[in-house]
Amino acid sequence: MAKSAAGTPLSLGSILTFACCYLPFSALNTSVAVQVPHYFASHIGLGLAVGGVFGLIRLIDIPLDPFLGLVMDRTRTPIGRYRPWMMLGAPVLMLAIYMMYEAPVGATRGYLLLWLLIMYLGMSLLLLAANAWAATLAVSYTHRSRIFGAMQGLGTLGAVACLVIPIITHGMHRTDAQGIQAVGWFLVIMAPLTIALVTLRTPEPLKEVQESRVRLADYASLLARPNVLRLIAADFCIIMGPAWMSALYLFFFTDSRGFSTSQANVLLVFYIAAGLIGAPATAWLANRISKHRALAVTAIGYSLMLLVLFFSPKASVVIAAPAMFMAGALAAGSVVMIRALTADIGDEIRLEKDQQQIGLLYALTSGTTKAAGALSVTLTFAVLGLVGYNPAEHAVNGASQIRGLELAYIIGPVVFVMLGGACFLGYKLSAERHAEIRRQLDARDAAYDESPVIQGLTASGEVAV
């Protein structure tokens, strides 16, 4: 089990409490990937210009993550290193969510650009702090898979809620747009509640709050490491595949597969809810065949499930529901493996360089994750423009436009996910190697904790949490 600041194991309840931090992030991430582009393109009236806005926002926002990761790793406060950043992220996120989901019809591209930027700032603050904090709570090879599996699993509950809410509002005879607005209010309420629970109830290990001298140049040294290059390439591809699918999901399932919007949302609930099983199941598999091999299994399986959906009969819930469930379980498992592999590589770096750079490392993967999410919208909407597809409400598209939509939907995700799994071919950081790394780190940390300077600081309360 993960360990607390005092070195005693965290209970399952404490692990699940911390995992609540993924509820608002996963919920918002799902909504932004599936609902927000469709909402702004059709209801707000921006059309395919939405794709350009999502691409532009990455040029502005991505450099922010390395800076935040640098500052987080150098943070030293009486309440911890990562806790203050999560507390700051909640109000920023709440404001942006309100302005995004209550956008007036006819809002400009500038309006979307501004509030997307602020929303991604809030998401960065929460996600970077949560991932780095989690890496300090679960330090062993096997336990790390479990805590990241718990985070992914609980995050699934928030994502499912975002999909169920429009289904409920549809049953109340509300419009699709009103359903999305109800999702926004759910997010505004959930974010502060879950972040308050996490920051008030979770310890930060004291040995991880030691001074760390890092510079912007450290990013260059990280990128020179083969394992880091594998990681960011795999992260980009593993996120890009499902994100590409998500950006086209409502268009594909309504115009190509013949489902209603409500039915498509129900199928997406199967996809997201499968993360509750897929995340822990992949963690279990990883502890038996290793994390990078489990990642390859999820990549292959996900691609096969997309092909089943593509070739299945139209409007067939009987076939689509189990295929969506399996695809969702495998997608969730892929994300768990990437996050757990990131923490393992962070340990390897800390042993060799004697510096805590997990925040920097998660900043890099957060940047690639966000780049993939945004570029998926930009590229897919650009492809829709090339094939002449019209995303407007009540628009009628011809057979050639629908065929273009179908090919875009299936080719992109399969290619990217398979490339992501291939990135770890020849990976050498095994469970045995990581166990030796942790043994040396634990010995070093014990010597640090016993030093007279640290004991004096702890007694005075300057670094204790």
CATH, residue 57: 1.20.1250.20
Looking at the domain assignment, is residue 79 inside a domain?
yes
Task: Determine the Cα–Cα distance for residues 255 and 114; give it in Å rounded to an integer.
Answer: 31
Task: Determine the Cα–Cα distance for residues 158 and 51; give it in Å rounded to an integer.
Answer: 25
Looking at the domain assignment, is residue 283 inside a domain?
yes
- pTM higher than the cut 0.75: no
9 DSSP β-pair partners: 3
pLDDT at 206: 53
Distances, alpha carbon 25 to alpha carbons 43, 97, 362, in Å: 24, 12, 15
Dihedral Cα 23, 260, 417, 313, nearest 10 deg:
140
Looking at the domain assignment, is residue 452 inside a domain?
no
Contact by Cβ (8 Å): 324, 267? yes
Identify the sign of the CA torsion 120, 389, 311, 409.
negative
Contacts of 163 (CB under 8 A, 6+ apart): 30, 34, 265, 268, 269, 272
- Nearest CA among 149, 133, 128, 341 for reference residue 233: 341
pLDDT at 219: 67
Backbone angles phi, psi at 9, to 5 degrees: -65, 140
Looking at the domain assignment, is residue 221 inside a domain?
yes
Task: Determine the Cα–Cα distance for residues 366 and 67; give it in Å rounded to an integer.
Answer: 12
pLDDT at 140: 63
Contacts of 48 (CB under 8 A, 6+ apart): 41, 381, 382, 384, 385, 391
pLDDT at 42: 84
Task: Determine the Cα–Cα distance for residues 394 and 402; give it in Å rounded to an integer.
Answer: 15
Dihedral Cα 294, 298, 301, 307, nearest 10 deg:
-160
pLDDT at 402: 92
pLDDT at 303: 94
Looking at the domain assignment, is residue 324 inside a domain?
yes
Range of the domain at 350: 18-205+214-447
Sequential pLDDT tens for the chain (465 residues): 444 444 455 677 788 888 888 888 888 988 887 889 889 988 898 888 888 888 787 667 777 777 787 788 778 888 888 899 989 988 999 999 999 999 999 899 999 999 998 998 898 888 888 878 887 776 565 666 677 778 877 888 888 888 889 889 988 988 888 999 999 999 999 999 999 998 888 887 655 444 445 555 666 778 888 898 999 999 999 999 998 998 899 889 989 998 988 888 889 889 988 888 888 899 889 888 888 999 999 999 999 999 998 888 988 989 999 999 999 999 989 988 988 888 888 888 888 877 767 777 877 787 787 778 778 888 898 899 899 998 877 778 889 999 999 999 999 999 999 999 999 988 888 778 888 888 888 787 676 555 444 344 334 333 332
- Residue 104 is classified by DSSP as P
Task: Determine the Cα–Cα distance for residues 181 and 49; give it in Å rounded to an integer.
Answer: 21
Looking at the domain assignment, is residue 463 inside a domain?
no
How many domains does one find in the chain?
1
Per-residue HEC secondary structure of 226-247 comes to HHHHHHHHHHHHHHHHHHHHHH
As given in the structure block, the two tokens for residue 432 are 């045995």
Dihedral Cα 222, 345, 72, 13, nearest 10 deg:
170
pLDDT at 304: 95
pLDDT at 145: 65
Looking at the domain assignment, is residue 12 inside a domain?
no
Task: Determine the Cα–Cα distance for residues 367 and 373; give it in Å rounded to an integer.
Answer: 10
Looking at the domain assignment, is residue 117 inside a domain?
yes
pLDDT at 210: 44
